[in-house]
Structure 1
Amino acid sequence: MSQAIARRVPSQPRVAVPATLAEALDAAWLGEALAAVSGSRAIVAVRQVEVIRTVATKVRFAVTFEDGEVAHFCLKGLLDVDSMTARGGPTCVLEADFYGKVAPITDVRVPDAVATVIDREAQQAVTIMRDLTIDGAAFCSALDPFTADDAVMSLEQLSLLHARSAFLDEADWIRPRAAELAKMSYVTPDMLQELLDGPRGDNLSSRVRNAQNLAVAIKALAVRDSARPQFMIHGDAHAGNTFRTGEGMGLIDWQLLQRGGWALDVAYHLNAVLPTEIAETDERRLLGEYLAMMRGQGMTMPNTEEAWMQYREAVTYGYYLWSITRRVDPPIIVQFTDRLGKAVMRHDSFGLLGVS
């Protein structure tokens, strides 16, 4: 039996979405949220193990049921956030829907989600998963460097997602994120230029560091990408959204799940996870490995030269994504913008997209 068939669909308990960490770790609330997996046993104790706060909060915790059994979980959602951050709630709903609708039909290695609590009217959600760390999984840091061999394993996971893209035919809730980014108005050209003038752009050419050029390039990429076959893609596959187990790599953080060209994922992924010197020497070979994986799963892919051109253009997506990022630790922003910006320079991505 394949992993996709064996994976359980998480329950969707009718309980309120917690807004604070205290609410999320309340024994009575967890008893209702986990009723389907616990057989409705009461929870008599909750122990917080670890809290990781980025934009969303991830909290690892252990619960003790009334019969003495202890189980370990991880909950992710927007907890204790201000009103501005709370506007990101739709991305949490998207992630919850990934675990409820997409994960069960793919072979991508992901955490086992046991419950998703969704308020569609308020556009807020949390996802409760089994704690993979207890079983020996190691979550990568965003700054962890990948080797070329590591990238083969992570590309395999992306290919398993991309190969199930027929799912998009009945999933209009999975949106074309690159096109929506290109139309975004809340990051003005002046704001973007100010960001690029900071440390994140220190090692980039003036042409690539130019906000106007980048704005034109992302719009041109969105137009070209929308005319190509659409795939179901992760959208944010940097090292910090991967984990390792004895069986291989897996992917987490599905808040930017989207439809788009396969190259958006592959070009962003390779140039985010690989140090620049490794990307320079190995990316074309790794692209060939990915194309072979996809063809091996029965997918029609472009020829080598066309794929290489799409890849070179698509680096712009990742570069734009990190150029506009503000609410992440500065060393992470600087590393990813630097790596992806250097890839834009190396591939003349702006030139390919008609930016003079």
Structure 2
Amino acid sequence: MSNAYPATAAGFDCDILTRLCRTVDQQAEVIGFSVVGGQAFGDGANKVSTAGRAELDLTFADGTMRRTVIKLCRPDIALQPLYRNEVAFYLLARPGLEVEAPQCLGAEFDEMSGTFALALEDLRVRGARFANVMSPVSLQELYALLDQLAMLHARYWQSSELTGRLAAIRPHTEGELHRFFMVLDAVPALVTSEIRTEQFKREIVEAIGTNDSGLYDAVLRTQHYQSSLDYTLCHGDCHIGNTYLLPDGGGLLDWQLTAWGRYIHDVTYLIITALAVEQRREVERDLISYYLDRLAHHGVTDGPDLDEAWYEHRLAANWCLYIGWLTTPITHYGWEISVCNIIRLATAVADLDSVALAKELPSAPSVI
């Protein structure tokens, strides 16, 4: 029997909301709700990429009320690996995790229908500000976000839990999410199409002296190389737009690409997208050094040194450009956010000589 979740707020009722909340609290009972907002793909807001949003005020039988943001599946494209993965994070890894991330009120992926719903606290109640490449981020705010990554990575550094109770979350180089992004007729075909049809993407890639196949090969080689190194749980998609800033710190949003792999995957993506090109050039090595200090502070005694981390930072930039933003249509986030992200990432790949560096690595097996 299918327990399909609606794609818009209009499809909810108290029974569906109760079922959703009982995935976290078996005693939960929603007795009333009101819709206070939301966003759907194609509504002109340029804020919806892989999931819609429904903003609801929930009333529970115990008398409590919660302002809730519910992530909903997009009905127009198949993104089930992302939905299944984020539900796994919130149900398996989020409980007890001290990292600043939204509290989950309910999460479920329905296998039969391929739909999902993820009910999260509305972070605006706590005064959260949502950053992106168009908004300034201070170094102090970036330090706070890097500290959150260090806490996350230290918690699961070489942890047996990743192959045990968290086994539903797969490595960067295995499983359906890896195939989704790396099988040639999947996301790489979309990247190729984007480069061919969007002139600014094509000319930026040409300007840094590479192409779609060169970037794909660089990502594949880098991931294969990283698979033999120390691993941890990674956010997986840690660009600045997947973070939030609080009066006393910051946190991490949108865990759809969470995977276990190499720490630098998160650190590199955050640094490059958070800072304008010139500032990034001036401080990126110092920021990596700060992250390593915080990693040690949070208990990792066998972490990399700065030279090792810098080498891996140079390699990691390839994924950030190729999968991170060349694959993203302008309709998802609008012109300015899309272009600014790609300029920051492409410039970093050129500055760090990332594609050429990856070519020095052994060839990687094909993804099938």
Q: How does 1:234-245 map to 2 (within 5 A)?
A: 234-245=235-246
Tell me the equivalent position of 2:262.
261
2:163 alignment partner AA: D
Q: 1:34 to 1:101 in 2, by over 3 A?
A: closer
- One of 116, 125, 130 as aligned partner of 2:116: 125
1:70 Cα shift?
Answer: 3.7
**Gap regions ≥5 residues in structure 2:** 42-47, 362-368
- One of 163, 172, 186 as aligned partner of 1:177: 172
- One of 13, 22, 26 as aligned partner of 1:26: 13
Length-normalised TM-score, structure 2? 0.82
1:324 Cα shift?
Answer: 2.0
Q: Distance in 2 between matches of 1:168 and 1:121?
A: 26
1:310 alignment partner AA: E
Q: 8 Å contact 1:200–1:335 — kept in the other structure?
A: no
Q: Distance in 2 between matches of 1:176 and 1:129?
A: 25
Secondary structure at the aligned position of 1:58 is classed as strand
**Gap regions ≥5 residues in structure 1:** 1-13
Secondary structure at the aligned position of 2:167 is classed as coil
Cα deviations by residue, 1:320-350 (Å, 9 ceiling, x for unpaired) = 1111222622332222121111001001111
Cα deviations by residue, 1:265-314 (Å, 9 ceiling, x for unpaired) = 11111101111111100000000001111112222212221211111111
Secondary structure at the aligned position of 2:95 is classed as helix
Length-normalised TM-score, structure 1? 0.85
Tell me the equivalent position of 1:6.
none
2:332 alignment partner AA: V
- One of 190, 193, 208 as aligned partner of 1:191: 193
- One of 127, 130, 134 as aligned partner of 1:136: 127
Q: Distance in 1 between matches of 2:139 and 2:204?
A: 24
Q: How does 1:307-346 map to 2 (within 5 A)?
A: 307-321=309-323, 322-326=325-329, 328-329=332-333, 330-346=335-351
Q: How does 1:18-97 map to 2 (within 5 A)?
A: 18-22=5-9, 24-34=11-21, 41=29, 43-51=31-39, 53=41, 54=48, 55-64=50-59, 70-79=65-74, 81-82=75-76, 85=77, 87-97=78-88
Q: Distance in 1 between matches of 2:255 and 2:54?
A: 17
- One of 98, 106, 114 as aligned partner of 1:115: 106
Q: Distance in 2 between matches of 1:58 and 1:40?
A: 22
1:355 Cα shift?
Answer: 7.0
Q: 1:136 to 1:184 in 2, by over 3 A?
A: same
1:352 Cα shift?
Answer: 1.0
Q: Distance in 2 between matches of 1:107 and 1:33?
A: 23
Q: Distance in 1 between matches of 2:25 and 2:208?
A: 55
Q: Does 1:104 align with 2:103?
A: no
Cα deviations by residue, 1:186-245 (Å, 9 ceiling, x for unpaired) = 3338525415x6223545554544222212211221221112212211111122211122
Q: 1:192 to 1:75 in 2, by over 3 A?
A: closer
Q: 8 Å contact 2:21–2:106 — kept in the other structure?
A: yes
Tell me the equivalent position of 1:151.
142
Secondary structure at the aligned position of 1:298 is classed as coil
Paired residues, what number? 338
Q: Distance in 2 between matches of 1:224 and 1:152?
A: 28
Kindly report the root-mean-square deviation, in angstroms, between the aligned alpha carbons of the 2 structures: 2.8
Q: 8 Å contact 2:59–2:65 — kept in the other structure?
A: yes
Secondary structure at the aligned position of 1:315 is classed as helix
1:252 alignment partner AA: L
Q: Distance in 1 between matches of 2:240 and 2:192?
A: 30
Q: Distance in 1 between matches of 2:173 and 2:209?
A: 19
Q: Distance in 2 between matches of 1:345 and 1:62?
A: 47
Q: 1:221 to 1:344 in 2, by over 3 A?
A: same
Identical aligned residues as a percent: 25
